[in-house]
């Protein structure tokens, strides 16, 4: 394989990262179909120095884990080939509440990001929301859920054990 420069390109609607790769699988990667191993130690070193990675080989898992809260989308593409390609789509409405502009007046960033997760993942349970919000503590999430419920922006549907939260239309 020829030398290939590492690239991170930020477009209006997506972020793409490409780097040379010692291919193991030649396929699209999903959370359940790959074994973690370092795909780009140089890029990983940058994120480690910034305090944004724990260990080599966790990048794919972390992008799947945090994509919704950071980019507003969780339809990530990882293509393992001689050039390892990552594409993270960016929602054009990220930071807004779809067609309901004005609903987020008076909501702080934490409440807005929580509401966005509920809009993207209808029926999500409180215990699973932290995955999308940088491991926000469950107590904080429960307090914020109450604020959004009191403001009639969300509602809980179902039993305590199996029910989840939905955005009001």
Higher pLDDT, 87 or 27: 87
- pLDDT above 80 (res 70): no
Q: What per-residue confidence (pLDDT) applies to 142? A: 92
Please give the Cα distance from 111 to 58 (Å, whole number).
Answer: 28
What's the predicted TM-score (pTM) here? 0.47
Which residues pair with residue 152 across a beta bridge? Answer: none
- pLDDT above 60 (res 37): yes
CB 86 within 8 A of CB 30: no
Q: What per-residue confidence (pLDDT) applies to 5? A: 76
Phi, psi for residue 7 in degrees, rounded to 5: -130, 140
Query: What is the chain's mean pLDDT, rounded?
Result: 77
What percent of the chain shows pLDDT beyond 70? 74
Query: What six digits make up the tokens of 169?
Result: 């239309």
Residues near 78 by Cβ (< 8 Å), separated by ≥ 6? 28, 29, 30, 34, 60, 63, 84, 85, 86
- Residue 158 confidence class, pLDDT cut points 50, 70, 90: very high
- Residue 126 confidence class, pLDDT cut points 50, 70, 90: very high
Please give the Cα distance from 8 to 54 (Å, whole number).
Answer: 21
In this predicted structure, which of 11-15, 27-31, 77-81, 111-115 has the lowest mean pLDDT? 27-31
Q: What per-residue confidence (pLDDT) applies to 96? A: 42
Phi, psi for residue 89 in degrees, rounded to 5: -65, 145
- Report the SS3 class of residue 13: coil
Residue-wise pLDDT tens digits, 52-68? 666 666 677 777 777 77
Phi, psi for residue 149 in degrees, rounded to 5: -70, -45
- Residue 121 confidence class, pLDDT cut points 50, 70, 90: very high
């Amino acid at each position: 394989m020829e030398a290939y420069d590492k690239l991170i390109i930020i477009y209006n609607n997506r972020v793409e990262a490409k780097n040379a790769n010692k291919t193991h699988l030649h396929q699209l990667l999903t959370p359940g179909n790959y074994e973690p191993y370092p795909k780009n130690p140089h890029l990983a070193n940058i994120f480690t120095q910034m305090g944004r990675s724990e260990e080599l080989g966790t990048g794919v898992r972390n992008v799947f884990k945090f994509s919704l809260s950071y980019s507003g989308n969780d339809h990530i593409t990882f293509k393992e080939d001689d050039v390892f390609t990552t594409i993270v789509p960016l929602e054009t409405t990220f930071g807004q509440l779809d067609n309901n502009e004005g609903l987020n007046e008076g909501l702080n960033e934490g409440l807005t990001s929580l509401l966005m997760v509920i809009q993207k993942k209808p029926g999500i349970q409180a215990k699973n929301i932290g995955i999308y919000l940088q491991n926000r503590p469950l107590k904080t999430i429960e307090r914020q859920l109450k604020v959004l419920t009191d403001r009639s922006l969300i509602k809980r549907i179902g039993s305590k054990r199996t029910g989840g939260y939905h955005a009001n239309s």
